[in-house]
Amino acid sequence: MKMTAVPVLAALLLTLFSSVPSLANDAAMDVESTLTSWMADFNAGKTERICDLFAPDVRADFRGHPTRDHKAVCDLLTQSLTDTSRVYRYALDIKEILVFGDVAVVRLVWTLTIKKKDGGEIKSVEPGMDVFRRQADGSWRIVRYMAYEE
């Protein structure tokens, strides 16, 4: 190999490898945007979009409850949002997003506030971990999640 080719090859390799963190950052930003958009839809009571966060093969584990599939997750969320005796609101605190190709792992805390029509209020702090997979259409959806109430 000629000596002039070494700097060119080094520059090419540097360019290729420097794009990897950028792609992971882009994916992490997409996942964060997906979560914050879902929270806004949930808080606005948009039942027609509430299941968009979850992949068809989702498995959801919340301490003390049986594992839920897509239908069970969607039914529970829809039931909550259509309950006229209460108002449900989520707040999101993302602790960390790790991206591994088409998989992202999010360590987070959801805080659910339930306001009853009689003025009472319940607050549930729910640390957990969501595993996202990039779908064929490029969107990120949750395939697994584990959470518990503090």
The C-alpha atoms of residue 105 and residue 130 are separated, in whole angstroms, by 6
Cα–Cα distance measured from residue 103 to residue 146, given in angstroms and rounded to the nearest whole number: 16
Evaluate whether residue 15 is within a structural domain.
Answer: no
pTM here is 0.82
Give the whole-angstrom CA distance, residue 107 versus residue 130: 7
Q: Which domain holds residue 68?
A: 25-147
Q: What is the pLDDT of residue 1?
A: 47
State the total domains in the chain. Answer: 1
In the chain, DSSP finds a helix count (H) and a strand count (E) of 2, 5
- For residue 9, being part of any structural domain is answered with no
Q: Is residue 85 part of a domain?
A: yes
d(CA 42, CA 51): 10
Query: Does 14 map to a domain?
Result: no
Mean pLDDT along residues 53-61: 97
Would you state the pLDDT for residue 43?
A: 96
User: Considering the domain boundaries, does residue 112 fall inside one?
Assistant: yes
**pLDDT tens per residue, range 87-137:** 999 999 999 999 999 999 999 999 999 999 888 999 999 999 999 999 999
Q: Which helix H or strand E contains 65, and what residues bound it?
A: none
- Is residue 1 one of the residues assigned to a domain? no
CATH code for the domain in which residue 49 is found:
3.10.450.50
Residue 11 in any domain: the answer is: no
